Structure 1
Amino acid sequence: MSLSSASPEVILETIKSMQISRTITYWQMSSIAFLIYDIIIMLPKEVSDFYFCTIDEILNVHETKKVEYIWKHAWTFLKMMYLFARYYGPLYIIQVFVVYNIIGLPIKVQFCQRWFWAKILLGEILFTTVINIILIMRLNAMYGKKLKVLVFLVFLVIVEFVLELYCSLVSAKKAYETTFTAPLGLPWPGCFARPNVMFTLTAWSVLSTLISVPE
């Protein structure tokens, strides 16, 4: 199929898809840079001398006493939750960025299928659940540790978790069943799902023709 035989709609959709892919890459790079910058400038406070305080003082958003987080402090559930929320996000975005930008390397469909499952379950599900638990602890402390407030917050988080888990499992299953990789020669990086076979083949032909045109 030559470039002249491709419809304008196909060419426009192909270019639009590549532009969206590039925009996503820019957003990922910006997120990684911002998170790493924030970690670097806040690291001195995390490793400085610890002002010993109770968990209530850490969680109470109205507490005026300066609290410094420290790696040397005794390992507690709160500390593990904080460190996970602090450092897991950048690591997760980095691995997503790497997979989304693999170009010129052979990628097997089986790898992409497993990666889609891991991305959804270890990303959206795991990370948001930890953040929700921290949010419950902070709000519970802010409202004076009232039992009714705690029960209400736990109920909301459970409902949100069930709905998110269901939607994520459906999405992961759909991605697993429709996983495909870019045809050889197509300058699209990473793994894909929900393919339109006719569109993919046409886009491959169009882009191959565009690439082969001398400047």
Structure 2
Amino acid sequence: MVQQLGYHALRDIFSRFQAADPEPKGELEHVNAYTLVVAVALSAQATDVGVNRATRALFKIADTPQKMLDLGEEGLIEHIKTIGLFRNKAKNVIKLSRILVDDYGGEVPNSRAALQSLPGVGRKTANVVLNMWWGMPTQAVDTHIFRVGNRTGICPGKDVNAVERAIEDNIPADFQHHAHHWLILHGRYTCVARKPKCNACLIRDLCQYEEKTP
């Protein structure tokens, strides 16, 4: 595993990310906190592009927990059957919608523990919702962040929880809010898995990856 980069290198890296993209945004389309929860839950082992394609029509008719319950599991399946694991995901979305209606008055809670108690909502999903909807400096570590963190030395760790802690412990506080978006976008478009685009990388000179592509 590469060594954790120091404070000054990290400040330089995130200053560059910020200059290039001051307000990075998640790419999952949503209209409120509830549709964000649903979109993130549906995105597990699926692409944002594929989820957006499926949810555009869905969210026009089911943008609240009660409307989703009214649509029903079979109606939901018709909208999301192009997404991987759609049957299990549909079950979870209907279950979490029922819980939101019965226990939370149809509102999405803004605590990690409450979000993680919902079917199909893990720590990563909860962190995405807390960050994107409520502006909390939570870090949702996906495969892109795990790869970038360990490849570059920005936030190395043996598992996603260790990488999450490395971000929280080492990245300067003023970059925490947008940190996971910058890292996801960097991993999605530049520091890609098979052949990273090192020649187009903003942080090439600070990155610890030894096998840089020409």
Short-chain TM bin? under 0.3
Structure with the bigger RCO (C-alpha within 8 Å, sep 6+) is 1
* Higher normalized helix content (fraction of residues): 1
Larger radius of gyration: 1
